[in-house]
Structure 1
Amino acid sequence: MGSKIKLLASDMIMSLMWVSSSVLIKRLVFNVLGFGSDAKGEVFKCGVSILNMFFFAWLSKVTKGGAYNPLTVLSPVFSGGFSTFLFTVGARIPAQVIGSIAGVRLMLDTFPEIGRGPRLNVDIHKGALTEGLLTFAIVSISLGLTVKLPGSFYMKTWISSFSKLTLHILGSDLTGGCMNPASVMGWAYARGDHITKEHIFVYWLAPVEATLLAVWTFSLIFRSQKGEKAKVKAEKSD
């Protein structure tokens, strides 16, 4: 029980920190360091963002599984036990949402002039498709890295961080390229539109369904590859 409470506390604190970090990075780059919204400023912001993702990957390792994204904790439980699934859906994800809401509120109270977070700039169908495809891509990449680079923290984090940043940029003008329902929930709650059909379909249902599809597809392909390797090995032994 103690380990679960620590995990919930880690999820909540990391979610608060993650939401806050996106605001703080922008203020550091554009307000403190004085970069403009040109190529040089954007490149520097991307570099800081990757360092930030390395920091959170290290936090996840230190906290033994702490996470700030519901999709991260959903991926493994789809193939796990029912009790783990209940704990994740009923406790960990709500903790992440609460942490994100607290983080957004903290940033709005500290910097009232900041924007109001990611918004849907296309119709609901295109938005759901965009978030779904982005989520499918990043979950597939993460699962692949887990299998191909099981012990390489730096290489795995570098590839994952660069992939997340690239996918975020690709979807930023359409949906915000979030791939994180908890963070979007924090901003949507602050705006008062967290229970709208657009928010639920685009930022929750589409990513969750894409995560489930990515896990199912990966397990199918990986199982097929393992079967082929076993068949080849058996033929060689004969």
Structure 2
Amino acid sequence: MNVDGVFPSAFDQIDRQSKDICSAHIFTWKDNNEEEKRSDIRYQISEEMGAIKAAVGDTVLTFLWISCASTLGLATSFIANAVGIQDLPWPPLFITTALVFVLVFVFTFLGDALGGASFNPTGTASFYAAGLGADTLLSMALRFPAQALGAVGGVLAINEVMPQQYKHMLGGPSLKVDVHTGAIAEGVLTFIISFLVLVIILKGPRSPVLKMLLLSVVTVTLVVSGSVYTGPSMNPANL
């Protein structure tokens, strides 16, 4: 038996098999690496598209919110006059609370329909800071200007369509004290409403209707409390 002829051929076969295995591993690693790169690119594109969609939704929702919220005082006055309770101190507050509840209910539905759109930069920042939602720094950087743009559009639109005799009844925040006092009041009230909103949503009742009612009561209470200072705003989009 030719030993010299057997062992070299066996070694050659093992060497070829080893090379084939190494080549297969290299190609597999390259394929996996390319697939990971493609996945990263797809994720980045998806993230950017999601941020753009969120910004567009915020623009539309803020436009509608400012247009409607500006007429709360006017609507309250109309209803109070129609019922004959305009001279009483407390009933108009209940009317305003009911109107805010309706607005919150409607805009919650609209926000969900628009993919989680928001009309309040304060709320967006609060939920982001709390680690809630799918916002990123990119989406936040796009949503804030979008909400401001929607707010400006809403103000211009409501001023354009409102009859002249009712324009003085359009509500909005205004500085009624010195700048420092107004800034402190806005900071305190914004902190309180942000905290209470998070508590109501995260720890409040399970019923969405009760949550909206509590949000309406909190909003009206803080608006009345801050009315002697700045209005108040508690929402940069309202400014």
TM-score normalised by length of structure 1: 0.67
Which 5+ residue runs of structure 2 have no aligned equivalent? Answer: 1-47
TM-score w.r.t. the length of structure 2 is: 0.67
Instruction: Give CA deviations for 1:56-93 in whole Å, capped at 9, x if unaligned.
Output: 22222333321001011101223559x812321x2101
Equivalent pair of 1:20/1:103 in contact (CA under 8 Å): yes
| Superposition map of 1:86-125 within 5 A | 86-88=138-140, 90-111=141-162, 112=164, 113-115=166-168, 117-125=172-180
Following superposition, the deviation at residue 129 of structure 1 comes to 1.4
1:77–1:85 Cα contact (<8 Å) kept: no
Kept in 1, the 8 Å contact 2:51–2:142? The answer is no
Q: Which has the larger radius of gyration?
A: 2
Q: Deviation digits for residues 169-196 of structure 1, max 9, x if unmatched? A: 1101210121001111xxxxxxxxxxxx
1:33 Cα deviation after fit: 7.0
C-alpha separation in 2, matches of 1:47 and 1:72: 21
Cα deviation for residue 9 of structure 1 reads 1.8
Aligned-partner residue type, residue 139 of structure 2: F
Residue 24 in structure 1 maps to residue 71 in structure 2: yes
Tell me the distance in 1 between the aligned counterparts of 2:79 and 2:203.
Answer: 40
Partner of 2:41: none
- C-alpha spacing 1:43/1:156, structure 2 compared with 1 (3 Å): closer
1:86 maps to a residue whose letter is L
Cα RMSD (Å) of the superposition?
Answer: 2.5
CA distance in 2, matches of 1:148, 1:80: 15
Structure 2 matches for 1:1-238, cutoff 5 A?
1-31=48-78, 34-35=81-82, 36=86, 38-39=88-89, 40-78=91-129, 80=131, 84-88=136-140, 90-111=141-162, 112=164, 113-115=166-168, 117-149=172-204, 151-184=206-239
Once residues 202 and 80 of structure 2 are traced to their aligned partners in structure 1, the CA distance between those partners, rounded to angstroms, is 40
Q: Which structure 1 residue ranges, 5 or more long, are not aligned?
A: 185-238
Paired with 2:208 and 2:62, the residues of 1 have a C-alpha distance of 21
Whole-Å Cα distance in 2 between the matches of residues 41 and 144 of structure 1?
A: 27
Distance 1:127 1:92 in 2: 26
For the Cα contact (< 8 Å) 1:50–1:165, is it kept in 2?
no
Structure 1 106/38 Cα, relative in aligned 2: closer, same or farther at 3 Å?
A: farther
Kept in 1, the 8 Å contact 2:61–2:150? The answer is yes
Instruction: Indicate conservation of the 8 Å contact 1:54/1:161, yes or no.
Output: no
How far, CA to CA, are the matches of 2:195 and 2:150 in structure 1? 26
Runs (4 or more) in structure 1 with deviation over 4 Å come to none
1:78–1:85: 8 Å Cα contact kept in structure 2? no
Q: 1:33 to 1:163 in 2, by over 3 A?
A: closer
1:114 partner SS = helix
Q: Which amino acid aligns with 1:175?
A: T
Partner of 1:158, secondary structure, is helix
